[in-house]
Homo-oligomer: A and B are copies of this chain.
Amino acid sequence: MNIIEAIETRRAIKHYDADHEMPAADLAELIRLTKLAPSSFNMQNYRLLVVRDKALRKEIRGAAWDQAQVTDASVLFIICADLKAHSEDPALYWSHAPQEVQDILGPMIKPFYDGKDQLIRDEGIRSSAFAGMTLMLAAKELGYDSCPMIGFDGAKVAELINLPEDFALSYILPVGKQSKGAWDRGERLTDEKVVSYDRF
Contacts and interface: CB of A to CB of B under 8 A. Distances in A.
A36 B49 contact: no
Top 8 nearest A-B pairs (CB, nearest first) are A129-B129, A133-B133, A42-B186, A3-B6, A125-B125, A126-B129, A53-B198, A162-B200
| Interface of chain A: mostly helix, strand, loop or mixed | mixed
A52 B198 contact: yes
A97 B35 CA distance: 35
Nearest to A53: B198
A96 interface: yes
Interface string A163-200: 11001001100000000000111111101001111111
Copies in the complex: 2
Given A48-B194, A92-B189, A125-B122, A40 B98 contact: no
Interface residues of A, number: 80
Most buried by B among A93, A136, A184, A189: A189
Contacts of A52: 197-198
A156 to B, nearest CB: 14
Interface string A61-95: 00000000000000000000000000000001111
